[in-house]
């Protein structure tokens, strides 16, 4: 996200006066469901619900503080903090969707964030339902950079118009793309391969009819937000697997060990440390076992035919070297 977007937290709210003007372009039934998948502090959702008389009002907000404000303004229909892309929402459920996503490129490059919101929101709008899609005016139109988003909108929405609100109502140079969802997508070329026409809001004569829809069967939070995931990981009991295991003190033998046992322990290297013989001062002991070659043994053998064979035998033996350090610093070596 660009620096300006990071400073705003991806939050580009549409003016309430602009929402009221857009609401006048909609013809609404007595009962329908309204969705705002990126509702911010809830002001646009609250204003549009009041202007249109929506019976079922739903919103989603990812940022926790804005979600609290939206819930206090719009009621229990606001899910947050939650991600629209993780939420479990019934398809083809909403008669009207107000979609005002962050204005930015997708993380790591690729397509625009606005297109991602448009694709998912489209699946949640009922056939014949209406979308009010708020985006920067530079992201829709005839320019090749706008092709992907423009084509998707045209193929899935009919009677599409790019509405230009009054200048004082578009601080981020945004426009509102309004259209009616087709029953099935059409081919971009077959409908002319052109962007929707642009009209200033005062010149728009078309009115979009919102169909009657009830509440969605499912509208549930799914997955964790980034903040919730960090908190959940920090509480995980599996962190104990990364901790160093507690050292178990060596067990004492049931009977006193003899000198032979001590010699075996020294030879194996398991008795390197402090030795406290009874009646003597403690001292440090380190034992080292090594292989030492003995003098070769040479034997000469002669067979029945008079042939002489010399055999050299090299043997190795284990040599134990013990070094002891007394409290006075004296080092003694035993071999």
The H or E element containing residue 98 is strand 94-99
Range of the domain at 75: 3-234
Phi, psi of 309 (to 5 degrees): -125, 130
Rounded CA-CA distance 162/309 in Å is: 107
Residue 249 within any structural domain of the chain: no
Claim to verify: residue 38 and residue 113 sit in the same structural domain = yes
Claim to verify: residue 154 and residue 216 sit in the same structural domain = yes
Claim to verify: residue 159 and residue 299 sit in the same structural domain = no
Residue 169 within any structural domain of the chain: yes
Residue 13 within any structural domain of the chain: yes
With 0.75 as the threshold, say if the pTM is over it: no
Claim to verify: residue 80 and residue 22 sit in the same structural domain = yes
What is the CATH classification number for the domain harbouring 127? 3.40.50.150
Q: Which residues contact 282 (CB under 8 A, 6 or more apart)?
A: 274, 275, 276, 327
Burial of 116 (0-12, 13-18, 19+ CB in 10 A): middle
Claim to verify: residue 103 and residue 164 sit in the same structural domain = yes
Number of domains in the chain: 2
Q: How far is CA 200 from the centre of its chain?
A: 41
pLDDT in tens, 168-225: 888 888 999 999 999 999 998 888 888 899 999 999 999 999 999 999 999 999 888 8
**Using an 8 Å Cβ cutoff, are 272 and 286 in contact?**
yes
**Using an 8 Å Cβ cutoff, are 216 and 58 in contact?**
yes
The first and second tokens of residue 182, run together, are 């087709």
Rounded CA-CA distance 19/36 in Å is: 13
Claim to verify: residue 142 and residue 27 sit in the same structural domain = yes
> Lowest mean pLDDT: which of 44-53, 112-121, 187-196, 209-218?
187-196
Phi, psi of 22 (to 5 degrees): -65, -40
């Amino acid at each position: 996200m660009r620096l300006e977007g990071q400073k705003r937290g991806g939050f580009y709210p549409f003016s309430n006066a602009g929402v009221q003007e857009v609401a006048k372009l909609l013809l609404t039934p007595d009962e329908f469901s309204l969705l705002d998948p990126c509702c911010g502090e809830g002001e646009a959702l609250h204003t549009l619900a009041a202007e249109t008389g929506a019976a079922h009002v739903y919103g989603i907000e990812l940022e926790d503080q804005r979600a609290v404000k939206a819930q206090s303004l719009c009621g229990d229909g606001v899910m947050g903090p939650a991600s629209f892309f993780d939420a479990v929402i019934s398809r083809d459920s909403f008669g009207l969707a107000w979609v005002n996503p962050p204005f930015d490129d997708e993380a790591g490059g690729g397509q625009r964030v606005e297109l991602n919101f448009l694709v998912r929101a489209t699946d949640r709008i009922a056939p014949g339902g209406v979308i009010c899609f708020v985006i920067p005016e530079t992201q829709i139109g005839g320019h090749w950079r706008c092709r992907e988003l423009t084509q998707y909108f045209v193929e899935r929405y009919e009677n599409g118009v790019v509405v230009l609100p009054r200048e004082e109502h578009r601080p981020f140079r945004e426009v509102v793309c309004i259209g009616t969802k087709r029953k099935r997508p059409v081919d971009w070329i077959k409908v002319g391969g052109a962007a929707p026409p642009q009209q200033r809001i005062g010149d728009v004569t078309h009115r979009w009819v919102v169909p009657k829809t009830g509440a969605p069967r499912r509208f549930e939070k799914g997955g964790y937000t980034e903040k919730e995931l960090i908190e959940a990981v920090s509480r995980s009991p599996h962190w104990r697997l990364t901790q160093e295991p507690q050292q178990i003190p060596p067990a004492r033998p049931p009977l006193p060990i003899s000198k032979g046992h001590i010699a075996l322990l020294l030879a194996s290297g398991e008795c390197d440390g402090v030795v406290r013989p009874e009646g003597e001062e403690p001292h440090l002991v380190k034992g080292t076992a090594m292989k030492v070659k003995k003098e070769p043994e040479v034997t000469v053998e002669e067979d029945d035919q008079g042939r002489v064979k010399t055999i050299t035998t090299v043997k190795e033996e284990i040599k134990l070297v013990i070094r002891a350090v007394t409290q006075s610093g004296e080092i003694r070596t035993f071999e």
